[in-house]
């Protein structure tokens, strides 16, 4: 395992993290989670991520029991959760309006509830799961600053915030002398890359912003199991087909007018993986890890063997040469446009990602 600093902090996280977004309220699932957490820890994974919205508390409960069964020293684990939705935002929850968003009330009550479910005294990182347009940033930032001062959390971050929103909250923290967010948790994979590779560039350069990216395998699409266009039994899209987000993923990539193009892309990636002597999931994860702006990439699993496989991508990462990166770019066809060179007023020769991969060779 490789360990990286979480942005501009002294905290080191495993290059691959383990998250439990997909869960269910069953005893069988709890036992599986214990096995998965133990395997993740044995493979060198020290970063574990969950959220109050995952199963609306069930994800945190399962992690809490798993950490208890693991019995590892607390100082060896880096545990994060996310705050925004403690309840579904539905008409039946109108009396629970203060359990959604980033008000001081919900931040404090939400973090304390998360700690209780996780059976922990503190969290290493808590993320604002989305931007809250209704709550003043001063209120949100001050609440997280106070949580840090009280020892309930060590750091705070954002998740799926735009660059402008992160710049804005950092300005607020600077003006009020508050501790700023140290990390962002965005989606980043071969299929979703513009925001990470382009929009956040200035944040990485100016603040060394950390990142705990989610869905590096694009909800399992890049694992190879869907290369023939079917949904195999036990696969994520089949097992959790009623999940709102996964329904959108299916419609986005497997709609009849898009399916043929997707399958051609997936099978071309399979050929690249075969050439490199790795599995398709390892190739997808290695591609993400080859970007040094990634502090940790969060994966999940339904079987321990999947973790065994994906951890090997740390070694495969060394095979993502400029030539391999170029080949993959040509296959997926979504490389962001290089930015403008201010001095020459022309397009830069390489993108930020390409420059990093070139640098990694030396």
Tokens linked to 144? 């997280």
* Mean pLDDT on 130-155: 98
Give the right CATH number for 3-220+281-319 from 3.10.20.90, 3.40.1710.10, 3.40.50.300, 3.20.20.100: 3.20.20.100
- Going from N- to C-terminal start, the domains of the chain cover 3-220+281-319
Which of these is catalytic: 41, 54, 155, 253?
54
Q: Does 17 score more than 90 pLDDT?
A: yes
pLDDT at residue 361 tops 90: no
Reference 221, options 187, 190, 255, 194; nearest CA is 190
| 250: annotated active-site residue | no
Would you say residue 112 has pLDDT above 80?
yes
197 close to 339: Cβ distance less than 8 angstroms = no
Taking alpha carbons only, the member of 101, 129, 170 closest to residue 21 is: 129
Nearest to 1 by CA among 18, 13, 19: 13
pLDDT tens string 277-333 = 999 999 999 999 999 999 999 999 989 999 999 999 999 999 999 999 999 999 999
Closest CA to 49 of 21, 14, 7, 84: 21
Q: What is the 3-state secondary structure (H, E, C) of the chain?
A: CCEEECCCCCCEEECEEEECCCCCCCHHHHHHHHHHHHHHHHCCCCEEECCCCHHHHHHHHHHHHHHHHHCCCHHHCEEEEEECECCCCCHHHHHHHHHECCCHHHHHHHHHHHHHHHCCCCEEEEEECCCCCCCCHHHHHHHHHHHHHCCCEEEEEECCCCHHHHHHHHHHHHHHCCCCCCEECCECCCCCCHHHHHHCHHHHHHHCCEEEEECCCCCCHHHCCCCCCCCCCCCHHHHCCCCHHHHHHHHHHHCHHHHHHHHHHHHHHHHHHHHHCCCHHHHHHHHHHCCCCCCEEEECCCCHHHHHHHHCHHHHHHHCCHHHHHHHHHHHCCCCCCCEECCCCEECCCCHHHHHHHHHCC
pLDDT in tens, 234-267: 666 666 666 666 777 777 787 787 888 999 999 9
């Amino acid at each position: 395992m490789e360990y990286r600093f979480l942005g501009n902090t002294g905290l080191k996280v495993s290059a691959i993290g383990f998250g439990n977004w997909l869960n269910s309220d069953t005893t069988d699932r709890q036992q599986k989670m214990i096995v998965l957490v133990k395997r993740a820890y044995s493979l060198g994974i020290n970063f574990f991520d969950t959220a109050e919205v995952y199963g609306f508390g069930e994800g945190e409960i399962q992690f809490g029991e798993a950490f208890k069964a693991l019995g590892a020293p607390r100082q060896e684990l880096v545990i994060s959760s996310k705050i925004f939705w403690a309840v579904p935002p539905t008409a039946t929850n109108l009396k629970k309006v203060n359990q959604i968003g980033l008000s001081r009330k919900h931040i404090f009550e939400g973090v304390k509830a998360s700690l209780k479910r996780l059976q922990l005294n503190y969290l290493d990182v808590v993320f604002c799961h989305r931007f809250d347009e209704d709550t003043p940033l001063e209120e949100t930032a001050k609440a997280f600053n106070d949580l840090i001062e009280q020892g309930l959390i060590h750091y705070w971050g954002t998740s799926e915030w735009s660059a402008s929103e992160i710049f804005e909250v950092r300005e607020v923290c600077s003006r009020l002398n508050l501790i700023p967010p140290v990390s962002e948790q965005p989606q980043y994979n071969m299929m979703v890359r513009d925001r990470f590779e382009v929009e956040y560039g200035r944040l990485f350069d100016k603040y060394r912003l950390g990142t705990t990216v989610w869905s590096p395998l694009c909800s399992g699409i890049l694992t190879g199991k869907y290369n023939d266009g079917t949904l195999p039994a036990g696969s994520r899209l089949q097992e959790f087909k009623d999940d709102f987000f996964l329904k959108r993923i299916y419609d986005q990539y497997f709609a009849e007018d898009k399916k043929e193009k997707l399958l051609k892309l997936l099978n071309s990636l399979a050929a690249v993986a075969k050439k490199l002597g790795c599995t398709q999931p390892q190739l997808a994860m290695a591609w993400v890890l080859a970007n040094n702006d990634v502090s940790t990439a969060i994966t999940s699993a339904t079987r321990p063997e999947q973790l065994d496989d994906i951890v090997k991508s740390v070694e495969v990462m060394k095979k993502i040469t400029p030539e391999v990166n170029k080949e993959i770019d040509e296959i997926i066809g979504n490389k962001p446009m290089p930015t403008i060179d201010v001095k020459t007023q022309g397009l830069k020769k390489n993108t930020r990602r390409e420059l990093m991969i070139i640098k990694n060779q030396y």
